[in-house]
Amino acid sequence: MKAIISHDIDHITVTEHLLRDLIVPKFMVRTNLELALGKISLKEYVARWTDFLKNKWQNLDELITFNNVKQVPSTFFIGVKRGVGLSYSNELAAVWMEQIISRGCDLNVHGINFSDVDTIKEERELFQKLSGREAKGIRMHYVRTHQETLRYLNKAGYKFDTTVHAFEDPYKVGEMWEFPFQIMDGWVIENGKKWQSADLNEAKERTKKQIAKAQKHNLKYLGVDFHDRYFSRSFNTWLEWYFWVIDYLAQNKIEFVNYHTAISELESVKH
Protein backbone atom coordinates (compact mmCIF):
# COMPACT_ATOMS: atom_id res chain seq x y z
CA MET A 1 0.00 0.00 0.00
CA LYS A 2 1.13 3.53 -0.84
CA ALA A 3 -0.14 6.82 0.59
CA ILE A 4 -1.49 9.84 -1.28
CA ILE A 5 -1.53 12.97 0.88
CA SER A 6 -3.66 15.88 -0.31
CA HIS A 7 -4.81 19.27 0.95
CA ASP A 8 -8.02 21.25 0.43
CA ILE A 9 -7.78 25.06 0.40
CA ASP A 10 -11.03 26.21 2.01
CA HIS A 11 -9.95 29.63 3.33
CA ILE A 12 -7.27 32.22 2.62
CA THR A 13 -8.27 35.28 4.65
CA VAL A 14 -10.77 36.26 7.33
CA THR A 15 -12.12 39.23 5.39
CA GLU A 16 -13.23 37.10 2.43
CA HIS A 17 -16.03 35.80 4.66
CA LEU A 18 -17.30 39.12 6.00
CA LEU A 19 -20.85 39.79 4.75
CA ARG A 20 -20.67 36.67 2.54
CA ASP A 21 -21.35 33.71 4.82
CA LEU A 22 -21.52 32.59 8.46
CA ILE A 23 -17.96 31.28 8.74
CA VAL A 24 -16.74 34.05 11.07
CA PRO A 25 -19.56 33.75 13.66
CA LYS A 26 -19.21 29.96 13.50
CA PHE A 27 -15.47 30.35 14.16
CA MET A 28 -16.22 32.50 17.21
CA VAL A 29 -18.70 30.01 18.65
CA ARG A 30 -16.45 27.04 17.92
CA THR A 31 -13.33 28.61 19.42
CA ASN A 32 -15.05 29.66 22.63
CA LEU A 33 -16.80 26.29 22.95
CA GLU A 34 -13.56 24.33 22.51
CA LEU A 35 -11.89 26.45 25.19
CA ALA A 36 -14.84 26.00 27.57
CA LEU A 37 -14.82 22.23 27.00
CA GLY A 38 -11.08 22.03 27.64
CA LYS A 39 -10.36 20.82 24.11
CA ILE A 40 -7.88 23.61 23.40
CA SER A 41 -5.43 25.46 25.63
CA LEU A 42 -5.48 29.16 26.41
CA LYS A 43 -2.33 29.45 24.29
CA GLU A 44 -4.17 27.96 21.30
CA TYR A 45 -7.13 30.23 21.94
CA VAL A 46 -4.91 33.31 21.87
CA ALA A 47 -3.13 32.03 18.74
CA ARG A 48 -6.45 31.66 16.90
CA TRP A 49 -7.39 35.25 17.61
CA THR A 50 -3.89 36.35 16.60
CA ASP A 51 -4.37 34.67 13.20
CA PHE A 52 -7.80 36.28 13.01
CA LEU A 53 -6.35 39.76 13.55
CA LYS A 54 -3.56 39.04 11.05
CA ASN A 55 -6.26 38.15 8.50
CA LYS A 56 -4.42 34.85 7.88
CA TRP A 57 -6.46 31.69 7.51
CA GLN A 58 -4.08 29.72 5.31
CA ASN A 59 -0.72 28.05 5.99
CA LEU A 60 0.26 27.03 2.50
CA ASP A 61 3.90 28.08 2.49
CA GLU A 62 4.52 26.39 5.84
CA LEU A 63 2.81 23.17 4.77
CA ILE A 64 4.68 22.96 1.47
CA THR A 65 7.99 23.46 3.29
CA PHE A 66 7.20 20.69 5.76
CA ASN A 67 6.11 18.29 3.00
CA ASN A 68 9.28 19.00 1.03
CA VAL A 69 11.48 18.28 4.05
CA LYS A 70 9.60 15.01 4.65
CA GLN A 71 9.68 14.15 0.93
CA VAL A 72 5.89 14.04 0.74
CA PRO A 73 4.54 15.11 -2.69
CA SER A 74 2.28 18.14 -2.17
CA THR A 75 -1.13 17.93 -3.84
CA PHE A 76 -3.54 20.85 -3.40
CA PHE A 77 -7.15 21.46 -4.39
CA ILE A 78 -8.08 25.15 -4.83
CA GLY A 79 -11.47 26.68 -5.59
CA VAL A 80 -12.37 29.04 -8.45
CA LYS A 81 -16.09 29.31 -7.66
CA ARG A 82 -17.68 30.54 -4.45
CA GLY A 83 -20.12 28.48 -2.41
CA VAL A 84 -20.87 26.75 0.92
CA GLY A 85 -18.27 28.68 2.91
CA LEU A 86 -15.62 28.88 0.20
CA SER A 87 -15.48 32.62 -0.44
CA TYR A 88 -12.03 33.76 -1.58
CA SER A 89 -11.74 35.74 -4.81
CA ASN A 90 -10.31 34.44 -8.06
CA GLU A 91 -7.66 37.16 -7.87
CA LEU A 92 -6.44 35.78 -4.55
CA ALA A 93 -6.73 32.20 -5.78
CA ALA A 94 -4.58 33.09 -8.79
CA VAL A 95 -1.86 34.52 -6.54
CA TRP A 96 -1.66 31.26 -4.62
CA MET A 97 -1.92 29.15 -7.75
CA GLU A 98 1.28 30.79 -8.98
CA GLN A 99 3.02 30.23 -5.65
CA ILE A 100 1.95 26.58 -5.42
CA ILE A 101 2.93 25.77 -9.00
CA SER A 102 6.26 27.59 -8.71
CA ARG A 103 7.18 25.36 -5.77
CA GLY A 104 6.62 22.20 -7.78
CA CYS A 105 3.33 21.14 -6.20
CA ASP A 106 0.44 19.43 -7.95
CA LEU A 107 -2.57 21.76 -8.22
CA ASN A 108 -6.15 20.69 -8.87
CA VAL A 109 -9.73 21.95 -8.57
CA HIS A 110 -11.70 22.13 -5.33
CA GLY A 111 -15.08 21.86 -6.96
CA ILE A 112 -18.31 23.64 -6.10
CA ASN A 113 -20.59 22.56 -8.94
CA PHE A 114 -21.49 18.87 -8.75
CA SER A 115 -24.97 18.46 -10.27
CA ASP A 116 -24.80 20.14 -13.70
CA VAL A 117 -22.36 19.12 -16.41
CA ASP A 118 -22.25 22.53 -18.09
CA THR A 119 -21.31 24.41 -14.90
CA ILE A 120 -18.75 21.70 -14.09
CA LYS A 121 -17.16 22.30 -17.50
CA GLU A 122 -17.21 26.08 -16.92
CA GLU A 123 -15.47 25.63 -13.58
CA ARG A 124 -12.75 23.50 -15.14
CA GLU A 125 -12.21 26.02 -17.94
CA LEU A 126 -12.00 28.88 -15.43
CA PHE A 127 -9.35 27.03 -13.40
CA GLN A 128 -7.33 26.51 -16.58
CA LYS A 129 -7.62 30.19 -17.50
CA LEU A 130 -6.48 31.34 -14.05
CA SER A 131 -3.69 28.80 -13.56
CA GLY A 132 -2.41 28.51 -17.11
CA ARG A 133 -2.40 24.74 -16.93
CA GLU A 134 -4.73 21.81 -17.54
CA ALA A 135 -7.13 20.91 -14.75
CA LYS A 136 -6.47 17.21 -14.42
CA GLY A 137 -7.97 16.42 -11.01
CA ILE A 138 -10.77 17.48 -8.72
CA ARG A 139 -12.22 16.95 -5.26
CA MET A 140 -15.64 18.36 -4.47
CA HIS A 141 -15.86 20.86 -1.62
CA TYR A 142 -17.49 19.12 1.37
CA VAL A 143 -17.17 15.94 -0.76
CA ARG A 144 -20.65 16.61 -2.16
CA THR A 145 -21.98 14.37 -4.93
CA HIS A 146 -25.16 13.08 -6.45
CA GLN A 147 -25.73 10.02 -8.62
CA GLU A 148 -24.43 11.62 -11.84
CA THR A 149 -21.47 13.61 -10.47
CA LEU A 150 -18.70 11.21 -11.45
CA ARG A 151 -20.12 10.75 -14.92
CA TYR A 152 -20.30 14.54 -15.35
CA LEU A 153 -16.70 14.96 -14.16
CA ASN A 154 -15.56 12.40 -16.71
CA LYS A 155 -17.54 14.17 -19.43
CA ALA A 156 -15.96 17.49 -18.43
CA GLY A 157 -12.51 16.06 -19.17
CA TYR A 158 -11.03 15.36 -15.73
CA LYS A 159 -8.36 12.66 -15.55
CA PHE A 160 -9.13 11.84 -11.93
CA ASP A 161 -11.47 12.62 -9.05
CA THR A 162 -11.03 11.94 -5.35
CA THR A 163 -14.37 12.80 -3.78
CA VAL A 164 -15.68 9.36 -2.86
CA HIS A 165 -15.07 8.13 0.69
CA ALA A 166 -14.71 4.34 0.54
CA PHE A 167 -12.30 1.51 1.28
CA GLU A 168 -11.92 0.61 -2.38
CA ASP A 169 -9.12 0.63 -4.93
CA PRO A 170 -9.16 3.26 -7.70
CA TYR A 171 -11.59 2.46 -10.52
CA LYS A 172 -12.48 3.89 -13.90
CA VAL A 173 -15.54 6.01 -14.65
CA GLY A 174 -15.34 6.31 -18.40
CA GLU A 175 -11.83 7.66 -19.05
CA MET A 176 -11.50 9.15 -15.54
CA TRP A 177 -9.95 7.46 -12.53
CA GLU A 178 -11.87 7.66 -9.27
CA PHE A 179 -9.57 7.55 -6.24
CA PRO A 180 -11.62 6.86 -3.11
CA PHE A 181 -10.00 8.29 0.00
CA GLN A 182 -10.22 7.01 3.54
CA ILE A 183 -8.98 9.55 6.10
CA MET A 184 -9.79 13.23 6.60
CA ASP A 185 -8.54 15.35 9.50
CA GLY A 186 -12.01 16.57 10.46
CA TRP A 187 -13.53 13.10 10.47
CA VAL A 188 -10.88 11.92 12.91
CA ILE A 189 -10.65 14.94 15.23
CA GLU A 190 -14.21 16.25 15.13
CA ASN A 191 -15.76 12.79 14.84
CA GLY A 192 -19.16 13.88 13.57
CA LYS A 193 -19.36 17.15 15.52
CA LYS A 194 -18.76 20.76 14.43
CA TRP A 195 -15.89 21.20 16.88
CA GLN A 196 -12.89 19.26 18.18
CA SER A 197 -14.15 16.26 20.14
CA ALA A 198 -10.99 14.13 20.31
CA ASP A 199 -7.63 14.66 21.94
CA LEU A 200 -4.42 13.71 20.16
CA ASN A 201 -4.23 10.16 21.52
CA GLU A 202 -7.84 9.45 20.55
CA ALA A 203 -7.20 10.83 17.08
CA LYS A 204 -4.13 8.63 16.69
CA GLU A 205 -6.02 5.49 17.71
CA ARG A 206 -8.87 6.22 15.31
CA THR A 207 -6.39 6.79 12.52
CA LYS A 208 -4.51 3.57 13.24
CA LYS A 209 -7.80 1.68 12.94
CA GLN A 210 -8.51 3.30 9.58
CA ILE A 211 -5.04 2.46 8.29
CA ALA A 212 -5.41 -1.13 9.54
CA LYS A 213 -8.77 -1.35 7.77
CA ALA A 214 -7.19 -0.16 4.53
CA GLN A 215 -4.46 -2.79 4.90
CA LYS A 216 -7.07 -5.47 5.63
CA HIS A 217 -8.79 -4.54 2.37
CA ASN A 218 -5.40 -4.78 0.59
CA LEU A 219 -5.81 -1.30 -0.84
CA LYS A 220 -3.22 -0.16 -3.35
CA TYR A 221 -3.48 3.46 -2.14
CA LEU A 222 -4.41 5.10 1.14
CA GLY A 223 -5.90 8.58 0.69
CA VAL A 224 -5.36 11.17 3.44
CA ASP A 225 -6.87 14.68 3.29
CA PHE A 226 -5.46 17.42 5.54
CA HIS A 227 -6.56 21.06 5.34
CA ASP A 228 -3.74 23.61 5.21
CA ARG A 229 -5.52 25.96 7.63
CA TYR A 230 -4.84 23.50 10.45
CA PHE A 231 -1.08 23.47 9.87
CA SER A 232 -0.68 25.90 12.77
CA ARG A 233 -0.12 25.98 16.53
CA SER A 234 -3.53 27.63 16.77
CA PHE A 235 -4.90 24.15 15.97
CA ASN A 236 -2.31 22.20 17.93
CA THR A 237 -4.05 18.82 17.97
CA TRP A 238 -4.54 18.95 14.21
CA LEU A 239 -0.94 19.99 13.62
CA GLU A 240 0.52 17.31 15.88
CA TRP A 241 -1.80 14.74 14.31
CA TYR A 242 -0.48 15.58 10.85
CA PHE A 243 3.13 15.37 12.05
CA TRP A 244 2.34 11.98 13.55
CA VAL A 245 0.48 10.63 10.48
CA ILE A 246 3.40 11.40 8.17
CA ASP A 247 5.93 9.84 10.57
CA TYR A 248 3.70 6.82 11.28
CA LEU A 249 3.27 6.04 7.58
CA ALA A 250 7.00 6.49 6.93
CA GLN A 251 7.93 4.27 9.87
CA ASN A 252 5.64 1.58 8.49
CA LYS A 253 7.46 1.72 5.13
CA ILE A 254 4.47 3.19 3.30
CA GLU A 255 5.70 5.17 0.29
CA PHE A 256 4.25 8.60 -0.54
CA VAL A 257 3.09 9.24 -4.12
CA ASN A 258 0.80 11.71 -5.84
CA TYR A 259 -2.21 10.97 -8.06
CA HIS A 260 -0.28 11.24 -11.31
CA THR A 261 2.29 8.68 -10.19
CA ALA A 262 -0.52 6.41 -9.04
CA ILE A 263 -2.30 6.74 -12.40
CA SER A 264 0.91 5.87 -14.24
CA GLU A 265 1.29 2.79 -12.04
CA LEU A 266 -2.31 1.73 -12.62
CA GLU A 267 -2.09 2.27 -16.36
CA SER A 268 1.16 0.34 -16.62
CA VAL A 269 -0.47 -2.64 -14.91
CA LYS A 270 -3.42 -2.47 -17.34
CA HIS A 271 -1.07 -2.61 -20.31
Q: What is the pLDDT of residues 124-181, one digit of tens each?
A: 999 999 999 999 999 999 999 999 999 999 999 999 999 999 999 999 999 999 999 9
| Domain total in the chain | 1
pTM (2 decimals)?
A: 0.96
| Per-residue model confidence (pLDDT) at position 165 | 97
| Per-residue model confidence (pLDDT) at position 42 | 97
Counting as low any pLDDT under 50, the low residues of the chain are none
Q: What is the CATH number of the domain that holds 234?
A: 3.20.20.370
| Per-residue model confidence (pLDDT) at position 270 | 62
Domain that holds residue 39: 2-270
| Per-residue model confidence (pLDDT) at position 67 | 98
Q: Is the dihedral of CA 223, 227, 232, 234 positive or negative?
A: negative
